Amino acid sequence: MELYPLKFDPIFSSRIWGGKKLKTVLNKIYNKESIGESWEISDIKNNETTVSEGNLKGKTLKQLIEMFKGNFVGNRVYNIFGDNFPLLIKFIDAKEPLSIQVHPGDSLAKKRHNSFGKNEMWYVMQAEKDAELIVGFNQKTTKEIYGEYLKNSSLSKLLNVEKVNKGDVYYIPTGRIHAIGAGVLLAEIQQTSNITYRIYDYDRIDATTGKKRELHNDLALDAIDFEFNNNYKTTYNIKTNISTKLIHSPYFKTNIINVKGELIKNYSKLDSFVIYMCTEGNLEIVYNGNYFILDIGETLLLPAITTQIKLKSTNSTILEVFL
C-alpha cells in the first residue's frame, strides 16, 4: 500500500457548553445535541480517528505509523515519538463558556498520568459580538495570592479577559490558566493529551449526571505558571500564497496561508508530516495527478514522504501544522 494525503473521520464530543456551529458553520454531520468538539486527528486511547477514504480507509494513526514509520511521520519525528502520534487536532464550538482550567507540563503529566503535557494554541475562526477569552493573569501574582482569591471566590479579579475577533491567535503553554468564552468557534492544535485540571465551572449542573462537574484545584495548584505577561495575543500579518508564522514552539509549528490562484509547496526538506486545517473557503490539492478537495472545517494530513503538492483556490485560508 502507498501513502497519500489522508482525511480522517472526526470524533464528535458532547459538551455541557457545546452548540451547533460545527454543523451549521463547518458542515459536520452528526445527530447529537451540544457537540462542543470535533476531534479531527487523534491518537488518544479509545478516541482514535481512522482514515476516511482510499486504500488505507479504517486505519488508525498507530497502525499507519507501524506500517510506514518515518515515511508517514518523518524520520526525525519517529525517532522521538515512536508509534505515538504527537498532536491532537480539533475544532471547538463554545455556545457557553468553558471551565476555567489549566494543563500540566510534560514532566508533571508523565509523573501523574503517564501522559504528554498539553501545550496548545487557538485560532479564532468566528466570534460573536463581545465574545471573550480568558488567557493568563491580569497582574503579578503568586501561589499564595492566587490561593486567597480562589478561597474567597473572587478569582475572576485576577484573570486576564480579552475581547476576541476572527483571526485572533493565542498560544496556551502548559501552566497558563485559560478558558474559551461563549460565542467562539476556533481551531485548536495541541499535544496528544487529554489532561485538564478544572478550576472553576460556574457551578453548572451536567445534565447527563445531574451533578456539578469535578474540580481539580489541588492538582492545578502545582501546575499553574503564575508569570504575568503584558500581551498574550500573537500578532502576525497574513500574506497571499506565503506561509506566515503563527506559533513555532518546541511542540508544534503552525503557519497560516491565504491561498489565491495556484501555489506550489515543497516539503522535501521538512522531515515531518504536515496537517492542513481549512478555516475559510475551500481549495483543491493536487498530488501525483490525484485531486483532493478541502472545505472549511476539514482537515488533511500529508505524510512526510510527500515532497511537492499544488494548492488551487479562488480564496481560502488554511493552517499549516508540522513538527
**Contacts for 72-75: CB closer than 8 Å, 24+ residues apart:** 72/3, 72/273, 72/303, 72/304, 72/305, 73/272, 73/273, 73/303, 73/304, 74/270, 74/271, 74/272, 74/273, 74/304, 74/323, 75/271, 75/304
Strand-pairing partners, residue 180, are 133
Q: Which of 204, 234, 264 is the last residue of a domain?
A: 234
Which residue type is seen at 263? L
Residue 265 has pLDDT above 90, yes or no: yes
User: Does one domain contain both 181 and 40?
Assistant: yes
* 196 inside domain: yes
Could you read off the pLDDT of 114-142 as tens digits, one per residue?
999 999 999 999 999 999 999 999 999 99
Query: Poorest-confidence range of 189-193, 202-206, 318-322?
Result: 202-206
Residue 93 has pLDDT above 90, yes or no: yes
The whole-model pTM stands at 0.96
Arithmetic mean of pLDDT over the chain: 96
The 10 Å Cβ neighbour count of residue 149 is: 15
User: Does one domain contain both 208 and 116?
Assistant: yes
* 202 inside domain: yes
The grid coordinates of residue 294 equal 478541502
Q: How many domains does the chain have?
A: 2
* 1 inside domain: no
Residue 275 · residue 87 · CB < 8 Å:
yes
Could you read off the pLDDT of 2-21 as tens digits, one per residue?
999 999 999 999 999 999 99
Q: Is residue 207 classed as helix, strand or coil in its secondary structure? A: coil
User: Is 198 one of the annotated active-site residues of the chain?
Assistant: yes
* 258 inside domain: yes
- The per-residue pLDDT for 205 is 86
Region of 80 (left: φ > 0; alpha: ψ -120 to 50; beta: rest) is alpha
pLDDT, greater one: 153 or 173: 173
User: Does one domain contain both 255 and 150?
Assistant: no
- The per-residue pLDDT for 33 is 86
Distance of CA 171 to the CA centre of its chain: 10
Supply the CATH number for residue 163's domain. Answer: 2.60.120.10
User: Does one domain contain both 228 and 255?
Assistant: no
User: Does one domain contain both 160 and 306?
Assistant: no
User: Does one domain contain both 222 and 253?
Assistant: no
Torsion of CA 92, 98, 101, 106, to 10 degrees: -10
* 182 inside domain: yes
Q: Which of 202, 234, 266 is the last residue of a domain?
A: 234
From 15, 76, 176, 198, active-site residue: 198
Q: What pLDDT band is residue 207 in, cutting at 50, 70 and 90? A: confident
41, 122, 293, 314, 315 from 281: Cα distances, Å:
20, 19, 11, 8, 6
- At residue 208, φ and ψ (nearest 5 deg) are -75, -25
The grid coordinates of residue 142 equal 503568586
- The per-residue pLDDT for 143 is 94
User: Does one domain contain both 118 and 267?
Assistant: no
Range of the domain at 142: 8-72+84-234
* 79 inside domain: no
- The per-residue pLDDT for 209 is 85
Q: Which of 234, 261, 291 is the last residue of a domain?
A: 234
User: Does one domain contain both 19 and 150?
Assistant: yes
Q: Residue 193's closest CA among 76, 105, 290?
A: 105
* 267 inside domain: yes
